Amino acid sequence: MYQMKCKSEAIERSCRRLSCVHPEVCENLNADHGPLLDLMSRVRREPGVKKVFLASGVRYDLAEKSPAFIEALARHHTGGQLSVAPEHSKKEVLDKMKKPGIESYERFARQFSCASEEAGKNQYLVPYFISGHPGSTLEDMVDLALWLKKSDMRPRQVQEFIPTPMSMAACMYYTGVDPLTRQPVQTVKDPADKRLQKALLFYWDPAHHDEVREALVKAGRRDLIGSGPRCLVPPASGKGSLPIHMRRMAGAPVPKRPGPARSGPPKGARRPS
Ligand code: SF4
């Protein structure tokens, strides 16, 4: 957002909006990426500077409005991967975070991928997601897991919500109320519920399948347990379940098989003489 500001000081003085970029980018915001592109270009020409990489911090709702910025970012300033934080897929949860809708991330991801291809570079985005944020229900996390599956994403970097002092999210977490709307906000405080929310982000990992099944049953989504293309996890046993060696490889608990019925005396027992 380098040098981006309101088009008019008079408008800015009378403005009562909390954010220039939420719920959508304000039409009065000068989102010109020109100054940032100039800066990036100057840095590249600086004697002694070989490379300058942006590893994170890109606001994709603004970046997607500037193909020239995405082109420069992909061609000159990405060192293999770029971390971005779509955080969630549900609009209601993203609104609580004051973040743009997931469609904005999808558009940016497509543009970045095309720009990287054109630059002849094999690089990718590392998207971060969060579980347990105020306003995020178990059902919302199921929706997020379905979105991840649809997008063929298997996140490894996930964050469980931790309230940070002086933040709006912490206020919602402790009071259960959105301070801006005064509306109640659902919060997750029970460690077991937090664990289930987080497990859904690992729907693809057999080590978490038992927890994901538990979460789906609790969310009333047994229909997502099975071997069909829409399902998130296979059943625990029977048709469509994972072979035991795959569960072992993933470090998942393996159900014990009942041993053969014994007819003789217990092992180690002595015959009466
Ligand atoms: S929200 Fe819009 S009108 Fe208000 S300060 Fe930001 S850019 Fe200006």
CA 122 to ligand 1 center in whole angstroms? 38
User: Is the separation of the CB atoms in 127 and 82 below 8 Å?
Assistant: no
Output 249 or 69, whichever has higher pLDDT: 69
Q: For the segment 187-233, what is each residue's pLDDT rounded down to a tens digit?
A: 999 999 999 999 999 999 999 999 999 999 999 999 999 989 999 99
Ligand 1 in reach of 15 Cβ (< 6 A): yes
Cα separation of 181 and 175, whole Å? 13
Q: For the segment 150-189, what is each residue's pLDDT rounded down to a tens digit?
A: 999 999 878 999 999 999 999 999 999 999 999 999 999 9
Cα separation of 29 and 264, whole Å? 84
- Please check the confidence at residue 244 and state whether its pLDDT lies above 90: no
Q: How many residues does the chain have?
A: 273
- Which residue shows structure tokens 């630059």? 119
Q: What is the b/e burial string over 126-136, where b = at least 16 CB atoms within 10 angstroms of the residue's CB? A: ebebbbbbbbb
Ligand 1 in reach of 6 Cβ (< 6 A): yes
The pLDDT of 106-133, averaged and rounded, is 97
Cα separation of 221 and 142, whole Å? 8
The burial class, CB within 10 Å (0-12 / 13-18 / 19+), for 166 is: exposed
Give the per-residue pLDDT at 269.
47
Cα separation of 120 and 117, whole Å? 5
Q: For the segment 138-157, what is each residue's pLDDT rounded down to a tens digit?
A: 999 999 999 999 999 999 87
- The helix (H) or strand (E) run that includes residue 5 is strand 5-6
Ligand 1 in reach of 49 Cβ (< 6 A): no
When pLDDT is cut at 50, 70 and 90, the band that residue 253 belongs to is low
Atom of ligand 1 nearest to the CA of 30: 7
Cα separation of 67 and 65, whole Å? 6
Using CA positions, which residue lies closest to atom 6 of ligand 1? 20
Give the per-residue pLDDT at 247.
65
Q: For the segment 62-85, what is each residue's pLDDT rounded down to a tens digit?
A: 999 999 999 999 999 999 999 999
- Give the pair of three-digit tokens for residue 217: 């049953």
- Please check the confidence at residue 257 and state whether its pLDDT lies above 90: no
User: Is the separation of the CB atoms in 251 and 207 below 8 Å?
Assistant: yes
Ligand 1 in reach of 18 Cβ (< 6 A): no
Atom of ligand 1 nearest to the CA of 8: 8
The pLDDT of 114-130, averaged and rounded, is 96
- Please check the confidence at residue 115 and state whether its pLDDT lies above 70: yes
- Please check the confidence at residue 242 and state whether its pLDDT lies above 90: no
Give the per-residue pLDDT at 250.
66
CA 204 to ligand 1 center in whole angstroms? 42
Q: For the segment 85-95, what is each residue's pLDDT rounded down to a tens digit?
A: 999 999 999 99
The CA-atom distances, in angstroms, between 213 and each of 15, 157, 241 are: 48, 21, 12
Using CA positions, which residue lies closest to atom 1 of ligand 1? 20
Give the per-residue pLDDT at 268.
47
Pocket-testing residue among 5, 7, 26, ligand 1, by greatest number of atoms within 8 A of Cβ: 26
User: Is the separation of the CB atoms in 14 and 20 below 8 Å?
Assistant: no
- Please check the confidence at residue 266 and state whether its pLDDT lies above 50: no
When pLDDT is cut at 50, 70 and 90, the band that residue 256 belongs to is low
Q: What is the DSSP letter of 184?
A: B
The burial class, CB within 10 Å (0-12 / 13-18 / 19+), for 233 is: buried
Atom of ligand 1 nearest to the CA of 15: 4
- Give the pair of three-digit tokens for residue 166: 């002086």
Using CA positions, which residue lies closest to atom 4 of ligand 1? 15
The pLDDT of 120-130, averaged and rounded, is 95
The CA-atom distances, in angstroms, between 27 and each of 30, 85, 174 are: 8, 24, 34
User: Is the separation of the CB atoms in 37 and 68 below 8 Å?
Assistant: yes
Give the per-residue pLDDT at 248.
63
Give the per-residue pLDDT at 249.
63
Q: How many CB atoms lie within 10 A of CB 248?
A: 13
